[in-house]
Amino acid sequence: MEGIPPLFLRFKSKKLDLFDKLITDMGPLGRHSYLPEDYFMFPKLEGEIKPRMKFQGREMLTWSLNNYLGLANHPEVRKADREAAEKYGLAYPMGARMMSGNTVEHIKLEKMLADFIKRESVMLLNYGYQGVLSIIDALVDRKDVIVYDAESHACIVDGVRLHLGKRFIFQHNNIEDLQKKLHNAKKIADETGGGILVITEGVFGMSGSMGNLKDIVKLKKKFGFRLLVDDAHGFGTMGPTGAGTDEEQGVQADCDLYFSTFAKSMAGIGAFVGGDEKVIKYLRFNTRSQIFAKSLPMSFVLGMQKRLELLKTNPELKNNLWKIVRALQDGLKKEGFNIGSTQSPVTPVLFKGGTGEAANAAMDVRENFNLFCSVVIYPVVPKGVIMFRMIPTAVHTLEDVDETIKVFAEVKKKLDDGVYRRMELIELESDR
Ligand SMILES: Cc1ncc(COP(=O)(O)O)c(C=O)c1O
């Protein structure tokens, strides 16, 4: 790299128009934009949401949808969605909750959720990403200190970006490092008179590992922090009743704020945050993404009530999911695959290889085996690692699992034999 000036210095000598600059450097993901659209980036999965869907006109066995409990296409869900849309359309209620967008059904859904996750109160959020970002913004001021896990989702990272005070990142799930960072955070908070907010996830969406909530909450007494848990992947999938990763680890009472989206197990749109009544009341008056944006449409709210009712009353949904998870993960391990540290339905399969090989392998899987799953490459995983990421659901079958393991056995053989390396490499920008 010696001799090549950094990008901003190169632009310094020749002033570029804003848009010219943007299209010169498309950004970390945009760098892959030259790849065939609709294939690696922005692929289109068509048809009903179920394990077999159409991709490029062909039926594929699909492991790419966070429809953990199979609710997306559940007949009762489809009926509830249909009837609610028929009755209310998508417009009602108009406006933000605080102004003109509140209804008894929004309040009812909040009560149902609060009961289920064992919190005093819940606030609905119109989207998870904006919700988390804005909750973080509302919770802290410049005197406060944030300490968050290094593998946090973009919504947490972006929420922390809004923070005007100090922040520390702790190594992923590393309690020793968290203690070090809390020590530093406490020093600052003692000086400023501020508080400390620790943020982590229940289930990490890429690796599938659980946040070490049990050990984190043990540190609360010593360091006096509050804990926000993003459990997007744990709600509905973890814990005896499906109430989440904090239920799974027996620490619901110690996780001060519990967040989840409706975009995964609930197969919908929207999100929620639960906690003590007074804190949630504060958030209702201070979460800018909710105060200055339209509330969830009624048809979404009624649809989520139906999903939650099914989630609570049909334990077989979660049992089916875990039957598939166990079969898939045990089967892959038995065949000698590296599935990393997952403790949840998220199932990564890790191979060694360059990103060009990853693209060839992904194409082979799609073109020759009619199997569709996400392929994750550098910078999300370290250079030289290829991750196929699979999301089992309650509506996959054991036959789907067997078929998939056979496909992966073929892929592994080809990777080991260097077949994908010898094929014409689809060059990805991150290899250049
Ligand atoms: C961990 C995590 N938090 C938050 C979100 C954002 O949720 P939403 O899709 O509702 O914006 C996601 C992804 O959907 C996620 O994986």
Express each pLDDT in 100-146 by its tens digit. 999 999 999 999 999 999 999 999 999 999 999 999 999 999 999 99
Indicate whether residue 132 lines ligand 1 (CB < 6 A): yes
In sequence order, what are the residues at sequence separation of 6 or more whose Cβ sits closer than 8 angstroms to the Cβ of residue 213?
200, 202, 227, 229, 245, 246, 249, 251, 254, 255
Helix orientation angle between 298-313 and 315-334, rounded to the nearest 10 degrees: 70
CA 34 to ligand 1 centroid distance, Å = 27
Nearest Cα to Cα of residue 149 among 240, 95, 103, 216: 216
Question: What is the rounded CA–CA span in Å between residue 13 and residue 244?
Answer: 53
CA 132 to ligand 1 centroid distance, Å = 9
- pLDDT reported for residue 426: 54
- Find where tokens 């609709």 sit: 38
CA 363 to ligand 1 centroid distance, Å = 27
> Contact, 149 vs 290, CB < 8 A?
no
Indicate whether residue 300 lines ligand 1 (CB < 6 A): no
In sequence order, what are the residues at sequence separation of 6 or more whose Cβ sits closer than 8 angstroms to the Cβ of residue 36?
none
Count Cα neighbours of 42 within 13 Å in the Cβ-side half-sphere.
9
**Residue 196 phi, psi (nearest 5):** -120, 135
Q: Which atom of ligand 1 is nearest to the CA of 130?
A: 11
Mean pLDDT, the chain, whole residue set: 93
Question: At residue 346, what is the residue type?
Answer: V
- pLDDT reported for residue 421: 84
Provide mean pLDDT across the span 35-42.
78
Q: Lowest mean pLDDT of 62-76, 220-234, 302-316, 354-368, name the range.
A: 354-368
Q: Lowest mean pLDDT of 310-319, 328-337, 377-386, name the range.
A: 377-386
Give the residue range(s) of CATH 3.40.640.10 domains in the chain.
74-313
Three-state secondary structure call for residue 161: helix
Helix, strand and coil content of the chain, in percent to the nearest 5, comes to 45, 15, 40
Question: What is the rounded CA–CA span in Å between residue 117 and residue 91?
Answer: 29
Indicate whether residue 153 lines ligand 1 (CB < 6 A): yes
Indicate whether residue 133 lines ligand 1 (CB < 6 A): no
Indicate whether residue 128 lines ligand 1 (CB < 6 A): yes
CA 268 to ligand 1 centroid distance, Å = 12
Provide mean pLDDT across the span 20-37.
80
The domain 74-313 having CATH identifier 3.30.420.40: the answer here is no
Give the residue range(s) of CATH 3.90.1150.10 domains in the chain.
26-62+316-431
CA 165 to ligand 1 centroid distance, Å = 25
Q: Which helix (H) or strand (E) holds 201?
A: strand 196-201
**CATH class of this structure's domain 26-62+316-431:** alpha beta
Indicate whether residue 208 lines ligand 1 (CB < 6 A): no
Nearest CA to ligand 1 atom 14: 263
For residue 326 the two structure tokens come to 């166990």
* 238/361: higher pLDDT: 238
Nearest CA to ligand 1 atom 12: 232
Please state the length of the chain. Answer: 432
Q: Which helix (H) or strand (E) holds 307?
A: helix 298-313
Whether 425 shows a pLDDT value over 80: the answer reads: no
CA 47 to ligand 1 centroid distance, Å = 23
Q: Which atom of ligand 1 is nearest to the CA of 204?
A: 1
Helix orientation angle between 128-139 and 154-161, rounded to the nearest 10 degrees: 40
Question: What is the rounded CA–CA span in Å between residue 314 and residue 128?
Answer: 25
Cis peptide before 379 (omega within 30 of 0): yes
Nearest Cα to Cα of residue 360 among 332, 386, 391: 386
Q: Which atom of ligand 1 is nearest to the CA of 271?
A: 10
Indicate whether residue 271 lines ligand 1 (CB < 6 A): yes
Nearest CA to ligand 1 atom 3: 232
Whether 93 shows a pLDDT value over 90: the answer reads: yes
Whether 11 shows a pLDDT value over 70: the answer reads: no
> Contact, 273 vs 256, CB < 8 A?
no
CA 399 to ligand 1 centroid distance, Å = 30
Provide mean pLDDT across the span 165-193.
98
Q: Within 10 A of 241 (CB to CB), how many other CB atoms are there?
A: 16
Distances (CA, A) of 192 to 166, 189, 248, 271, 335: 11, 5, 36, 33, 55
Nearest CA to ligand 1 atom 2: 232
